[in-house]
Amino acid sequence: MTGTGTAANPGTGSHPPSLPAEGSALKAGSRSWFTLSTSREERFFLLLAVFIGLFSGLAVVCFRLAIDWTRISLLGPAPEPHSWRLIATPAIVGLIMALLVVHVFPLVRGSGVNQTKAALYIYNGYIPFRTAVGKFITAAMAIGSGQSLGPEDPSLQIGASLASALGRRLELSRERLRLLAPVGAAAGLAAAFNAPISAVLFVIEEVIGRWSAGILGSVVLSAVSSVVVVRWFLGSEPLFRIPAVGLVRPTELLAYAVLGVVGGLAAVIFAKAIGYLRPRLRAWPRWTQYLQPAAAGLIIGVIGFLGAPQVMGAGYEYMDQAMHAQFTWKMLATLALLKIVATTLSFVSGAPGGMFAPTLFVGAMLGGAVGGVERALYPGLTGSTATYALVGMGVLFAAFLRVPMTSVFMVLEVSGNYSIIVPVIVANTLAYVISRGLEPTPIFDLLTRQDGLDLPSLEEQREQTVLRVEDAMRPAPTPVLEAQSSVEQALRRVQDMPGTFLVRMSPSGWGSTTSDTLKRLAGEGKGEMTLGSTLPIRNLPYLHPDLTLEAALRHVYQVPLVPVVHRADFRRLEGVISREDVLEKYKKQEGD
C-alpha cells in the first residue's frame, strides 16, 4: 500500500459509480422530487438532513456500545496495571485489525476527517457504505483494545458515509450529494461529542472551509437531530462532570496565559511527531503494515502494564477524574506526555481512530499539571484543577487541531459554564498563535498533503491576502461630465482628449462616453441636447472600494471603465477600475 492509500486513492475498484449529472435525473418522471420547485427541493433537503441526523445518531449510539463492549470483553471491566492482558490484547487485536484494514476496508485508516473532506472536494460526496461498516468495526476494535485513539473522528466519517449512501440511494444530484457529506459529518460528530454547536463549527471550520448559508441550515438540523437521539438513549449528561469553575481575579489570566504557552508548545511537539513518523512508517515495506498496529499496541500495552493504563483507549473517565483533582500534578504531567507518545504511535501505525479524544486528554492532563505547579508556586491562585483541565482541553484543541472557534465553544458546551470563557479565549488564542508560528501547516492539512491531496484549508484561506477594488483602482479621468450638460458643452470640455469619460447621471447612476461619440452626436445635430438624453451607454455598473477584485472581474469584462463610488453617496466618485488595472494588480501580487 502506498502512502496515498486513503482518501487520495479510494481503493482499487471502488471508484465512484456513475453519478447522476446535475439535472440529469429527470428520468425519474415529472413527479420526482428532482423536478420540484427550488423552495420545495430546499425543504425536502432539510427534511433529509433531519433523517441523516437520526440515522447518524443511531449509528453512533451503536458505535459507542460496540467500543464499550469490546473494551469490557478484551481488557476486562476494570483494567489495572501489572495485568498481562494489557500487553497481549492491543498487540493481538492490532494484528487482526491490520489484516482487516489492508485486505477488507482499505479506506478506514486514520481519523476520517480528511477522508470526509476529500469526499466533499474530490469525489463529489461519494463515500462507500463499506467505509462506514469498516470504520465501525475496526475503530471499535482499536479503541476497545486500548489503542490511544478516540471515537469522534470515526463517528464523523460514519455519519458522512451514511449520508452519502442515503443520497446515492435517492439518486440526488451531484451538487446535493456533495453537500450531504458535511451534513452527515456534523451529525456524526455532534452525536459523538454530545455537543451540537461544536460539531457544526468544526465541520464549517475544518471540513467545509467556508460559511455558506445554503448548507448551514442542513448541518445544524442534522447535528441537533443526532444529539437528540444520543441523549434519548445515553442520557443528556455532558461528557464531563465539571465542578464549579470560574475566574475570581482578572490577574489570574496570566496563569492561564502560561497554560496557553505550554499547551501551544505541546501541540507543536505532538503535531511534529505525527508529521515526522507517519510518512516514514508508510514508506516501510508493505508487509510491515500488518505489524505496525500490533507493535504500537504492544508498546501502549507495556505503558499500561507498567502503571499508566489511563493512556489506553479514549480515556474519558480519566479526564473526568483529572477534573476532580484525583491525580497529582506530577501524575498529570506524566499522563500528558505518555498520551502524546501513545497517540502518536497508534495514529502513525494506521490504526483507525480519531484524535479528538486524545487531544482533549492531553489538554486536560497538561492543564491540570500546569495549574498544579502554578498553585504550588503561588498559593493565592483560586483556579481549581478542573478549571485548568478544562482550559487545557480548549488549548490543545485550538493549537493541535487548529480550530480556534470550535475550541472555545467546545469548552463551553462540555462545561456548561460561561464564566470560564475569558480564560479560555486568552489561553486558546496564545496557544493557537504559538502553534501557527512554529508549525505553519495545520495537522489535518499536513496529513492530506502526506496523502498526496491538496484540499482547501480555512486557516490558509484566512491567512491569504484578499485583494480589493481599492488596491487596483486609479483616479477617475478628468473631466467628469454631468448629464444635464449639452453635447456642445461636453465637447468643449473634453476637446480632443483621448479615452473614456464618465458621465454623472441624474438623479443617480453613471454613464460613459468618448470625444469621438460627442463629435458624432454634434455632427448629427444633437449639440443642443443634454448628455443624459443622447448617451448610448447609461446605467454603468459600479463598484465600491471594499469589494474584492474577484467581484470586480465580473464587471470589468462588460465595460471598459467601471466607476468606483462611495457607499453612502453613489454620485461621489472614488476612482475608476478597468480590466487592465485588475490584471495588473494580480500580476504584481504574484510577482511579490
Helix 292-305 with 84-103: angle, nearest 10 deg: 160
Tell me whether residue 55 or residue 356 sits nearer to other proteins (CB atom): 55
Return the C-alpha cell found at 570: 453613489
**479 preceded by cis ω (within 30°)?**
yes
CA-to-CA separations, 490 to 223, 487, 503, 587, in angstroms, rounded:
63, 5, 10, 36
Given the complex with other proteins, which of 241 and 462 has the nearer CB atom?
A: 241
Q: Among 28, 31, 15, which residue's Cα sits nearest to residue 170?
A: 28
Which region, left, alpha or beta, applies to residue 81 given φ > 0 means left and ψ of -120 to 50 means alpha? Answer: beta
Name the one range near other proteins by CB under 8 A: 5-13, 39-47, 103-111, 479-487: 39-47
In the three-class reduction of DSSP (H, G, I as helix; E, B as strand; rest coil), residue 170 is classed as coil
236-263 per-residue burial string, b: 16 or more CB within 10 A, e: under 16: eeebbebbebebeeeebbebbbbbbbbb
- 3, 14, 44, 228: which one contacts other proteins (CB under 8 A)? 44
Shortest separation between residue 269's beta carbon and other proteins, angstroms? 29
Counting contacts by CB under 8 A, is residue 216 touching other proteins?
Answer: no
DSSP-derived letter for residue 287 is G
Which residue from 39, 237, 507, 568 is in contact with other proteins, where contact means CB under 8 A?
A: 237
Residue 230 or residue 469: which is nearer to other proteins going by CB?
230
Strand, helix or coil for residue 174: helix
Please report, in angstroms and rounded to a whole number, the separation of the first and last CA atoms in the chain: 40
Binding mask 7-26 for other proteins (x = CB under 8 A): --------------------
Which residues 152-211 are close enough to bind other proteins by CB under 8 A? 170
Asked if 33 touches other proteins (CB under 8 A), the answer is yes
Least distance to other proteins, CB of residue 323, Å: 8
Window of 31-39, 174-182, 248-256, 517-525 that interacts with other proteins by CB under 8 A: 31-39
Least Å from the CB of residue 310 to other proteins: 11
Q: Considering beta carbons, is residue 21 or 213 the nearer one to other proteins?
A: 21
With CB under 8 A as the contact rule, the residue among 54, 133, 265, 291 that binds other proteins is 54
Q: Least separation, in Å, of the C-beta of 72 and other proteins?
A: 7
Q: Is 321 in the site for other proteins (CB under 8 A)?
A: yes
> Which residue, 2 or 326, has its beta carbon nearer to other proteins?
326
Does residue 384 belong to the site contacting other proteins (CB under 8 A)?
yes
Q: Which of 185, 189, 193, 194 is nearest to 231 (CA)?
A: 194
Q: What is the nearest approach in angstroms of other proteins to the Cβ of residue 321?
A: 7
Contact 396, 228 (CB under 8 A): no
Candidates 130-138, 233-241, 410-418, 518-526; binding stretch for other proteins (CB under 8 A): 233-241
- Phi-psi category of 25—alpha, beta or left, where left has phi over 0 and alpha has psi -120 to 50? alpha
Q: How many CA atoms lie within 13 A of 242 on its CB side?
A: 23
Q: Which amino acid is at 192?
A: A
Residues binding other proteins: number (CB under 8 A): 40
Q: Which three cell numbers stand for residue 48?
A: 433529509
Distance in Å, CB of 219 to other proteins, minimum = 19
User: Which CA distances in Å does 416 have to 333, 345, 364?
Assistant: 26, 33, 16
Piece of the chain touching other proteins by CB under 8 A; list 133-141, 230-238, 336-344, 391-399: 230-238
Cβ contacts of 534-538, under 8 Å, gap ≥ 24: 534/487, 535/483, 535/503, 535/511, 537/511, 537/512, 537/513, 538/505, 538/509, 538/511
325 binds other proteins (CB under 8 A): yes
* Helix locations, 81-169, DSSP H: 84-103, 113-121, 129-144, 152-169
Give yes or no for residue 234 binding other proteins (CB under 8 A): yes
Residues 56-115 that bind other proteins (CB under 8 A): 58, 61-62, 65, 68-69, 72, 77-78, 80
- Per-residue DSSP letter, 204: I
CB atoms within 10 A of CB 544: 17
Can residue 361 be called a binding residue for other proteins (CB under 8 A)?
no
Stretch that binds other proteins, among 32-40, 273-281, 538-546, 584-592 (CB under 8 A): 32-40
Please state the closest distance from residue 68 (CB atom) to other proteins, in A: 7
Q: How far is the CB of 54 from other proteins (least distance, A)?
A: 5
Nearest alpha carbon to residue 355 among 274, 263, 272: 274
Closest approach of Cβ 374 to other proteins, in Å? Answer: 16
482: contact with other proteins by CB under 8 A: no
The string of DSSP codes covering 23-74 is TGGGGG-TTSGGGS-HHHHHHHHHHHHHHHHHHHHHHHHHHHHHHHHHHHHH
- Asked if 235 is part of the footprint of other proteins (rule: CB under 8 A), the reply reads yes
Min dist CB 236 to other proteins, Å, is 11
The smaller minimum CB distance to other proteins, of residues 79 and 263, is found at: 79
To the nearest whole angstrom, how small is the minimum distance from the Cβ of residue 335 to other proteins? 15
Residue number, 196 or 313, with CB nearest to other proteins: 313
CB of residue 45 to other proteins, shortest distance in Å = 11
Residues that bind other proteins (CB under 8 A): 28-29, 31-33, 36, 40, 44, 47-48, 51, 54-55, 58, 61-62, 65, 68-69, 72, 77-78, 80, 170, 233-235, 237, 241, 243-244, 317, 320-321, 324-326, 384-386
